[in-house]
Structure formats: C-alpha cells, structure tokens
Structure 1
Amino acid sequence: MLLKTHFPLALILMVFIQACTLAVEEKGKYANSGGNGTGGTSMKNEEASGTVLRDSTKYYFDYDLKNAIQEVSLPGELREVSGLSLSHDGAYLLAVNDEQGKVFFLDSNRGKVIREISFGEPGDYEGIEMVGHHIYIVRSDGVIFEVDYSGQADRKAKPHYTALTVDHDVEGLGYDKANHRLLVACKGKAGEGKAFEGKRAIYSFSLDSMQLSREPAFLLSGEMAVAKEAFREAWWSDVLAGPFVPSAISVHPVTGHIYILSSKGKGRAILVMAPSGELLCIRELDKDPFNQPEGICFAPDGTMYISTEAKGKRGKGRIFKFEML
C-alpha cells in the first residue's frame, strides 16, 4: 500500500546524520496490483521510507569523495556525458552522450575513445549498461535499446518500448544482477494518480520477460521528510537544501547496495539504499568537481567511477575514480 504524504518536494530524501551515518526502519508494505506498466509481471513495491533508529547499527559510507585516486578528462564529443558502465570483461568504460546514437568505449586510465558503436538516430540518451555481450541504452522517453555486441563497428539496436514517457523523464539505468533486471530511474513523474505526487520512482525492466514492472520497484516517499526533520534538529542546520532528482543509478557489486546520483543544483548528492529499500545514507556532492554528475558504475572490486558533464563552454566532461575504503 502506497504511503500518502503532504510534504513538499524539497523535503524528499533529505535524511542525514553527521559523518553520513544513518539507520532506518523500513515501514513500506509490498503491493502487487495496479499501477503503470506494459502488462508484464508486477514487481514488489518497496517504499524507501522509515523511522529513524538512533541507537541501532549505523552505516558508514565506503568512499572518500574528497580524494579521487584518478581523474581523467574526456574528448569534446563527451562534454555532455550522460551514462557510464563497465564492459563485460572489465577492460573499458562505456559511455553515451545525450545527443548521438553512439556507444563510446573508453580507456579508463586516459579517457581516450578506443572504439565507437553507432546504434541509432540522434536522441536524448541518458543511461547505459552492459550485461554479458548485450548493451542496453535508455532514452529519456523510456525506450530501452538493446545492442547485441559482437565487435562490429555499427550495429542496429532493438528497441523495447515501455509505458514510460517523456513525462517520466528517465535519467538512469543500472543492472541488478541478483534479480537479472535493469533499474530505471525517473526524475519526472513517478506514476499516475495522487498517490505518486511529490515522489521519485525507480522501475524495473526484467531481462527474462523483457517487460517493465507495473509498479515502481522502489518508490522514494515523502515519509522520509519525517526522519530528515528529526535529524536536522539533532545534527544539522541545513544539509541538502534542494530536491533530490535522480540522474544515474548503479548496484554495488560487493555490497548489493543501490547508489543513486542527483545532479541538479542544491540537491546535488549521492544516495545509498539497501536492496530492501532501506535508506542508508545521503552524501552531498560539491559543485566543484561534480558540476553535473550523470553517470556512475563500479568495478567488481568495488572501485567506483562517477562521470560529470563539462562546466562552461570550454570545460570538459570528466570521470573520477574512487577506491573502496
């Protein structure tokens, strides 16, 4: 059953404690009926909401965001880098921009383009994931393009149409290996009806049935505002001043935790969530160097990569590499 809220959008997802330690008690109930989708099998609706437990086991963020172990600049065609993934063999980083129907294979140490694959017409492409020998790219209107990669320079993609539209404004794509599905993060409307107002949704796309879930796999609820206010009074005066607007998503290969980026203005941050939907942590991201972070992925050992779009007309897109602590 979906939780209803009257909290303003600016209060969503702002749950912090000092040094980014937080524990929450999951209160969301699972639902399997109704909602928005293509008619595929409905997934559990796990609401990321809860009550603060100040004395319970705390979560510690696994990365030092102030100290990247590597920073690389990207070529001009990736000034607006919009998605990031690791190749199936770990040899390259894969990226897309939000203009061309191309996949860019990058040398992770230099940022140099090693190979390009043309897969479709120009469009607003926002996320990319490589699963085995298949590459998936999502467009902002919810269409997921599948490329069966076998080394050719050009390969036409197979489109998978979903019930998502430009109003949902899809921004992120991540692979959930445990459930063999893609997670699709929306920065626009979460769904149809008042129950979805003021919320952000993450839908799932099954790689078995090739269908979108009827309901969001995770619904980021305004109930978080209650926990956020409790911690603001106890620990912080003002931590995340703007709304959290998803821009990228990835699943950690070691912990299984779900990492979600927000790239806009005062809501620029990284959120960590357990597979159950339990909110673990939100860390604010500095505008310098994270001008507009829109890509995140992990190596098998937990090494994290974050890409950010260029700042200004003369700036370059960049990728930052962080070691797992």
Structure 2
Amino acid sequence: MTQSSIQLNTTPPYSGADAVDDTNKALQTIATDFAGTTDPAGLDGCGPYCTWADTANGLLKRRNAADTAWVVEGELFQYKANRNGDGTQNFNVASLNGGQLAGFRNKIINGNPVINQRGVSGTVTLAAGEYGHDRWKAGSGGCTYTFNTVENITTITISSGTLMQIIEGVNLMSGQHVLSWQGTAQGRVDSGSYGNSGEVLGTAVGGTNQAVEFSTGTLSLVQYESGTVPTLFEFRGFFEETLCFRYSELVNGYAISTLGEVSIVEFKAKKRGTPSYSGLVLSSGSGAVFSAVPNTSVATASNPQGCYGIIQSAVNSVQAYFRLFIDAEL
C-alpha cells in the first residue's frame, strides 16, 4: 500500500533506475486506489473522479467533477450476507444486524433440543402447556412428537398440535427480530401468521415475554435474533444446559436425620421465580418421612429462588437419598 504521484517526472536528468522506481510506485498507487490515511488530492495525477481508499475511516471515496471535495461511495470491503448468512471472504464488522456479532445472538434456549432433563422418550404426548424437552412446551391444542439425534443435531417431528417456547423478556431488547430454523414445520411469533424459515419476523419489546410456535413437520436448529436477515445457527455447546437451569433442573441429595433435621440443597442457578417441585425418595431407612419445602422455612437461608430445604423427619440416624425436579418454567 502506497500513496505516490502517478504522473512521472518529465524533467531531465531522469535515470532509468528512477523511472522504474517511480513507475512501480505509480502502478501500486493506482492498483490500491491511493490507499492510505492521508488525503491524496495534492498528489500529481489525482484529480476529478479519482478514487481514494481512506483506510483511516474505512471508506471508499471518489473525487468530485470540480476537483474540490471527496464523495463517499461506500464502506471498504462492504459485505452483504445472503439468506443463509454465509459469505465468500473474511471481513471485519463492528456488529451484526445491529447487535453483537459473537455469542448470545440467539434468544431461543435449547434451539438444538439436546437438553432433555425430564427424560421424555419415544412418542411424546403433551397436554396443553405441558413441557417435554427443556424450554419447549405444547401449544393450546397439545402436541405429539418424536425426535432423533444424529451427529449432535436433534430433529423433532411434530405429528399433531404445536410446539412452542416462551422467551423471557429479560433476554429481549426492543426491535425487529427474525425467526429461522431447519425443517418442514412452519413457525410464527406470538399470534402472527405462520411462515417459512427466515421469512417470519417479530417485533420485540424489551422486558416483555414473547412466544415462538411451530406447526406439524420437522424442526431443528431454531434461532430468533435481532434484525431481518437470519444468520448461521449459534451453537453454545454444554453452556446451553446452564441456560436451562434458570427454568428447571434435577437435584440429588442425601439426608441423615435425628428427628426432623433439615438438609439444604442449593440450585445450580438462581431460578426465574419461586419454583415448584416434584420429589422422589430413591432409598430410605425405616420410618423416614420425606418432604421438601421452600427454604424460607429454613432459618439460615433467605432466597427461595436459590435453594430448597429438604426435611427428613424420622427416628434417629435414618438416612435417605432423594431426587427433586425443580420447575420454574414460564
């Protein structure tokens, strides 16, 4: 990259070596559109309609016809993504669709539904509002689906009803968003019309919950992101399970009691709200009575979203292993 005069010297003496050197500089300057940080308007040969790659500001400029000012024609290395969000060259951008370029573009949690803490299997039949895979629940008419996983991609096949996810408002900022997925199912945002992947738009209001819902067909790699152009699906790996823990989790524990002793089980993540629970005693000694209560009943704890008090009422030295499913879903 160089900025040199592109008009060769015509005043003698002018050696052959100097001519070759000046010619090379001129050709490089022409080939790179006077690329550099300094305004080249004062260089010989830079006149009306000359182009300048202004590297200081990342802009491509052209000299006006009167040779008095530069006119911005666009950004250097300007790039337009196609519908699939892939490209043919490397490029640097400050943002994508007006939002962050890297992680957490996708507002859907478990969009590749590999997280299955409830352990559903086979043909999954859900009543209205009942959850199957983490964060996914049946619509108002219930839902029946099967699923299979190939090379770490889980595909759900909805045979009846609809499957939906409620996006918590704390994860949304106001503005237009686009819904995309792979498969034959059609999708919609809130109560809008069903459509094909990449064609379904929704307007989010920051702090307000929003629903995405899918009709019969196949479904995988669901993404809801800021902007109007869908990008490649965002894989978050094992961290996806951590995001699910805000809404539900399985916890295991052990208690040995001397008549009503309390055992505390801390959650892996603070819950969205005060959760409900379902419990199962895996094994216990004679006389054990198992129950679970929010930790507000425990004098040493103060946050019902952070842990539960596990009460084991029994005779001395009775022990129990237990498992709880903690549910704070929307």
Band the TM-score falls in, shorter-chain normalisation: under 0.3
Rg comparison, structure with higher value: 2
TM-score of the aligned structures, taking structure 1 as reference length: 0.20
TM-score of the aligned structures, taking structure 2 as reference length: 0.20
